[in-house]
Amino acid sequence: MTTLRGERVTLRPLDERDKPRLVEILEEPEVARWFGMSPAEESAEEFISDPEVTGFAIEVEGALVGAIGFYEENEPDYRHAGMDLFLAEESRNQGLGREALRLVANHLFERRGHHRLVIDPAAANARAIRAYESIGFRPVGVMRSYERGPDGTFHDGLLLDLLRGELR
């Protein structure tokens, strides 16, 4: 798997040694709030070893500050890729998530041959939506009662997409 390098962020393949730090980040209140009902250990494991997810550690100056992953739909008539990420609270509001998103989006467009990317944050997650829109994602629509939140109730999600040529 490829390592992707930006100005401040390095994205490298995740491995089992990363799991304790990922769990620590996933258990932070502002991360757990948006990351659904799965225990942090299961979510970390999905980024590390799910065969349908390609997961990268987000590193800044050698420190693991989050993870970003993608999946691919390879059915020719519906081909696209979807992304998801999370960042440690102390690493927010610095543009690191946007840089990681741009790196993965460029990789998916240029190296993996996709023409369309999707991302689906909770509709109430305004911070994430602003970050996604800042690199060119556009709202497609609200997915009602889309996912179960940590409170056990279903919440709306917002589907956003990004076409080749729209990445900022």
pLDDT for residue 150 is more than 90 = no
Question: Which residue's structure tokens are 């994430």?
Answer: 128
Query: How many other C-beta atoms are found inside a 10 Å radius of the C-beta of residue 87?
Result: 24
pLDDT in tens, 104-116: 999 999 999 999 9
Q: Which of 117, 84, 116 is nearest to 14 (CA)?
A: 84
What's the pLDDT at 37? 76
14 — pLDDT class (breaks 50, 70, 90): very high
Locate the domains of the chain by residue range: 4-163
pLDDT in tens, 84-104: 999 999 999 999 999 999 999
- Within 50-115, strands assigned E span 54-60, 63-73, 80-87
pLDDT for residue 128 is more than 90 = yes
pLDDT for residue 36 is more than 90 = no
What's the pLDDT at 72? 97
pTM of the model: 0.94
Question: Could you give the CA distance from residue 81 to residue 30 in angstroms, rounded to a whole number?
Answer: 26
User: The domain 4-163 belongs to what CATH superfamily?
Assistant: Gcn5-related N-acetyltransferase (GNAT) (3.40.630.30)
